[in-house]
Each structure stands twice: as C-alpha cells, then as structure tokens.
Amino acid sequence: MANLTHPLNQSSQVHPQQRLVRIFLLSVMGSLSGLVPGLTRDFSGLDLTSMAHAQELLPKVSNYADAVLQMEPLRLNALTQVRSYMGEQTPKNVCRQNELPTSVKSTCTEFFNQSADVIQQNGLSNWEFNQITEKVRTDDIYKQRFDQELKKRQ
C-alpha cells in the first residue's frame, strides 16, 4: 500500500526570497488601497487602518491645541479640589485610581464631562483628541505642529 499524504499535511517552507516578495506585494497593495496593516491590541488579528484617516488628523492639531489650552484651567481647578480632599500626597492620575472617595469621584467626573464638552466645542471627537494626544507623544511631525500652534497662541 502506498504511503499517501495530503498536500496540506506536508510541511512547506517558504524561502526567504518568497517571503520578501509577499511582504513587498502586501506593502504595495496596502499603499495603493490606502490601508495600512497592523496588529490588533491583543495581537490576535490584523487591523487595517486607513492612511487617509491618520493623515486627516494633522490639520486638526490646531483644534487640539485650542482644546488643550481651554482644558488646562479646568484640570488645575480639579486638581486643587482633589488635593483639598486628599492632601498634597495626591497620586498621579488620581482620577484613574480605583476606590476613590465620593467627593474625588465627583470632581473627576465633572472634569471629564467639562473636558468632553471642550473637545466637542473645538470640533473634535474624543477619539480624535486621544489619537492626536498619542501622535503628539510619539510622532515628531505632530509634536512640532502642536508646539507651533501653542506658540501662535502665546
């Protein structure tokens, strides 16, 4: 009896040259389609993000700068209130802590609501604001644009 194996059960090795060709083709296809492949947060799958969507955020850095400047007095006021409840040893990112006293929770909730209003009044969604925040931290172009916008307002 002949030993037959199913083609899918055979181990197939991809040569490095073939792997490079596949990567190149995926990159070209992604560039032409405007989609950029990436991994999901938990690395369980592939996420396709629109390059155009990422690029459309750059012009909104001006709105972002306005929102940040308007939110800063609100943040300082909330921090002062929280410190009056908790003392000078208030933890960093206090509003993100678990099991806060009711007065601190209330102050944090009010600050978050006011911030959301400021973000919306400046023509941004919360998602856009958070994306630009991340871009300003990690992308030199966004950081430079943000710094320029702040200088214009001083």
How does pLDDT run across 70-97, given as a tens digit for each residue? 999 999 999 999 999 998 788 888 999 8
Which of 78 and 53 is assigned the larger pLDDT? 78
| CA distance linking residue 19 with residue 138, whole number of Å | 30
Residue 144 has a pLDDT of 95
pTM to 2 decimal places: 0.64
Residue 6 has a pLDDT of 41
Residues 117-139, mean pLDDT to the nearest whole number: 95
Helix/strand number for the chain, H first, E second? 6, 2
* DSSP H helical ranges for 87-152: 102-121, 126-138, 140-152
